[in-house]
Chains A and B, each alone.
Chain A
Amino acid sequence: MSTMETVLEWVALGCLLGGALLSFAAGVGLVRFPDLLSRLHTAAKPQILGLILILIGIGLRLAPDPQVGILLLVALFQLLTVPVAAHIAGRVTYRTSRVRRDLLVIDELRDQLDEDKAGPEQR
């Protein structure tokens, strides 16, 4: 085994471990954060980065194999769809008043919605 391959092995190992740790942290956040809107942050950030790191790790080990393309697709669609899913979940919680208002310091959306109710000139 050449040095280059050894280095790549270690990099792949680091990526896999880092990804696993980030996914674990995302899980901790999911349990510890108090409301849905905060929990969405863990789904949208450490989880995506963790997945990407794991995919890079797998990709480095598969390297010459053209199947690597499928990993690229997984990462791409994850990046594009997770924010959309988070947005829908956030919007629904907000609109059905399941947001913990006591946890929000500033809430400019509620001000806006109150304004809309007072004078329905827009939308």
Chain B
Amino acid sequence: MSRPDGPQRPPLSFAVGRRVIQLPLVASLLVVWVLLYGELSPAVVASGLAVAVAIVWVFPLPAVDTGLRLRPYGLLVFAAHFAVDLVAASARVVRTAFAFGRTPRSSVIAVPLRTESDVLLTGTAITVSVIPGSVIVEVRYATSTLFVHALDVQDRDAADAARRDVLRVEERVTKAFGTRADIRRLEEKAALEHALDDGEVL
């Protein structure tokens, strides 16, 4: 692990003996339990709580939360784009699938992301696989670079367009889940890239 920053004990957690119980984890397990039962009764909640605490106790996880925020407006924009893009991406794959007699040729392109946060890198990687015409092939953690396989991308222009798509996804993920510092860093780097783009192609 090359970026050991953040507090030792995550927020919203307490220690029981030598184990740390992370409340957000317990809460999400409880929600899953209630959804599985399909009813919200005291018995279900109590048993869910017991199971959740037991799981967190027996299988302790290292804290990953080093800066995940939920921003309502950003989340809304993210969700709306996600839905629209999911439909568009599916349509594209379907069109390519039914274009009989033509073998699709593709490209593997490198996309250097601007974020330095693990959570945002992961979020972007997951989102990118579902939405634009790309699937993650490799993640280079040290330089925050994603290598994506872009379906039916046959030339430089299409590759650049695919790269911009991924960067836009990163921007939306950052604005939905990032900390203030993450958003500021993204905007600074975006401005820098704009300035560079006038002179040369990436």
A and B pair up? yes
Which B residues from 124 to 182 make CB contacts under 8 A with A?
125-131, 133, 135-140, 142-143, 145, 147, 149, 151, 153-156, 159
Q: Is the CB of A122 within 8 A of B142?
A: yes
Size of the chain A interface, CB-CB below 8 angstroms: 49
B35 and A80: CB pair below 8 A?
no
Does any Cβ of B come within 8 Å of A87's Cβ? yes
Interface centre among B39, B103, B156, B159 (most CB of A within 10 A): B103
Asked if A8 is at the interface (CB within 8 A of a chain B CB), the reply is no
B104 CB to nearest A CB, Å: 6
Most-contacted residue by chain B among A26, A91, A107, A122 (CB, 10 A): A107
User: Smallest CB–CB gap between A72 and chain B, Å?
Assistant: 6
Cβ-defined contact, B159 with A45, below 8 A = no
Q: Provide the residues of chain A in CB contact with B39, threshold 8 Å.
A: 66
Asked if B196 is at the interface (CB within 8 A of a chain A CB), the reply is: no
Interface stretch, picked from B48-56, B60-68, B106-114, B184-192, is: B106-114
Which residue from chain A places its CB closest to the CB of B140 in the assembled complex? A112
Q: Judging by beta carbons under 8 Å apart, are A106 and B97 in contact? A: no
Contacting residues of chain A (45-84) with chain B, CB-CB under 8 angstroms: 45-46, 48-50, 52, 65-70, 72-73, 79-80, 82-84
Known A25-B98, A108-B109; contact A44-B87, beta-carbon cutoff 8 A: no
Known: A22-B90, A112-B140. A103 touches B105 (CB 8 A): yes
Is A105 a contact partner of B105 (Cβ separation < 8 A)?
yes
Are A104 and B104 interface neighbours, CB within 8 A?
A: no
- Contact A38–B151 (Cβ < 8 Å): yes
Q: Are B38 and A70 in contact (CB under 8 A)?
A: yes
CB atoms of B94 and A106 under 8 A apart: no
Contacts of A84 in B (CB 8 A): 126
Is A109 a contact of B108 with CB atoms below 8 Å? Answer: yes
Report which residue of B32, B129, B147 has the largest number of chain A beta carbons within 10 angstroms of its beta carbon.
B129
**A90 and B142 within 8 A (CB):** no
B98 touches A28 (CB 8 A): yes
B12 within 8 A of partner (CB): no
A33 interfacial by beta-carbon distance below 8 Å: yes
**Residue A14 at the B interface, CB < 8 A?**
no
Quote the shortest CB–CB distance from A25 to chain B (angstroms): 4
The verdict on B96 contacting chain A, using a C-beta distance below 8 Å, is yes
Are B38 and A37 neighbours in the complex by a CB distance under 8 Å?
no
Given contacts A29-B93, A48-B86, 20 further A-B contacts (CB under 8 A): A25-B93, A25-B97, A28-B97, A37-B135, A38-B151, A40-B149, A44-B130, A45-B92, A45-B131, A52-B86, A69-B34, A83-B126, A83-B128, A84-B126, A86-B136, A87-B137, A108-B147, A109-B108, A109-B110, A122-B143
Interface residues of B (CB under 8 A from A): 32, 34-36, 38-40, 86-87, 89-90, 92-94, 96-98, 100, 103-110, 125-131, 133, 135-140, 142-143, 145, 147, 149, 151, 153-156, 159
The 9 A-B residue pairs whose C-beta atoms are closest, nearest first, are A83-B129, A29-B97, A69-B35, A106-B107, A108-B110, A67-B38, A25-B94, A109-B147, A90-B137
